[in-house]
């Protein structure tokens, strides 16, 4: 009774994890009315992409010992992390501004430009 999954972790398994994170993030961005919640969705999406980058860059996971991306995967993951931090800073500043002006963080109320 050996499980097929155990001991044979491959790139595909990481991709599935990345896909789940990505989907959750997309749903989160679409569903949440709270601006902070939307931000969390973005973080999840970027994180899911990061899992893929690392999986493709990992020699440890590669079936034939040579990873698809090599070092580039990890470098890309690093850049994604940095840009996610930058994005979070600006988005939070915007949220704070919005809150100061409207006393709410409900993104559905941000319709000033609606005409």
Asked whether the beta carbons of 71 and 8 are under 8 A apart, the reply is: no
Per CB under 8 A, does 113 bind other proteins?
no
Applying CB under 8 A, which of residues 65, 111, 112, 113 lies at the interface with other proteins?
A: 65
How far apart are CB 111 and other proteins at their closest, in Å?
A: 15
CB nearer to other proteins: pick between 4 and 113: 4
7 or 115: CB nearest other proteins: 7
Q: How far is the CB of 115 from other proteins (least distance, A)?
A: 23
- Return contacts of 44-47, CB within 8 angstroms, 24+ apart: 45/21, 46/80, 46/83, 46/84, 47/21, 47/84
Note whether 84 binds other proteins by CB under 8 A. Answer: yes
Residue of the chain from 1, 111, 113, 115 that contacts other proteins (CB under 8 A): 1
Closest CA to 69 of 81, 52, 83, 84: 52
Phi first, then psi, for residue 105 (nearest 5°) are -120, 20
Name residues contacting other proteins, limited to 32-61 (CB under 8 A). Answer: 32-34, 36-37, 39-41, 43-44, 47, 50-51, 54-55, 57-61
**Residue with token string 């709410």:** 104
């Amino acid at each position: 009774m050996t499980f097929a999954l155990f001991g044979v972790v491959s790139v595909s398994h990481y991709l599935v994890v990345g896909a789940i994170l990505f989907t959750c993030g997309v749903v989160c961005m679409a569903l949440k009315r709270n601006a902070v919640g939307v931000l969390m969705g973005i973080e999840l999406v970027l994180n899911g992409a990061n899992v893929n980058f690392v999986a493709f860059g990992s020699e440890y996971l590669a079936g034939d010992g040579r990873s698809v991306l090599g070092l580039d995967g990890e470098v890309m993951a690093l850049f994604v992390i940095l840009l996610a931090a930058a994005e979070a800073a600006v988005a939070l500043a915007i949220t704070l501004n919005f809150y100061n002006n409207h006393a709410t963080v409900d993104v559905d109320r941000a319709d000033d430009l609606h005409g």
